[in-house]
Amino acid sequence: MHWQDIVISVGQYIFALALLPSIFSADKPALSSSVLTAVVIIVFGATYVTLGMWSSAIASAVLALGWSVLAFQKYTQKRKSIARE
């Protein structure tokens, strides 16, 4: 394992932990921001796989999952608000 793999994966796990307050809060980031961020992180994860940086790839999957959860939550929030109108 390369030191870069460790540094990147630890950083991504920290970012994933930082998402938890948003996941459990009523306030959510914009849907487009959440979707775009999740997609870019998935691309990063695929890149890490091609470089053999498996720890970073797994951490990317965790982080992308967090952003995907936020995107889903915002999407359902929007649908509920439209249904109320």
Query: For the chain, which residues make up each domain, given as ranges?
Result: 3-84
The pLDDT value given to residue 84: 78
CA dihedral angle for residue 6, residue 8, residue 9, residue 15, rounded to 10 degrees: 140
- The pLDDT score that the predictor gives to residue 28 is 95
What length is written for the chain?
A: 85
Dihedral of the CA atoms 42, 44, 45, 48 (nearest 10)? 160
Token output for 39? 């997609």
The architecture CATH gives domain 3-84 = Up-down Bundle (1.20)
Over the stretch 10-22, which tens digit does the pLDDT of each residue have? 999 999 999 999 9
What is the pLDDT, as a whole number, of residue 9? 97
pLDDT for the residue numbered 80: 87
Encode pLDDT of 26-79 as tens digits. Answer: 999 999 999 999 999 999 999 999 999 999 999 999 999 999 999 999 999 999
SS3 content of the chain, % helix, strand, coil (to 5): 85, 0, 15
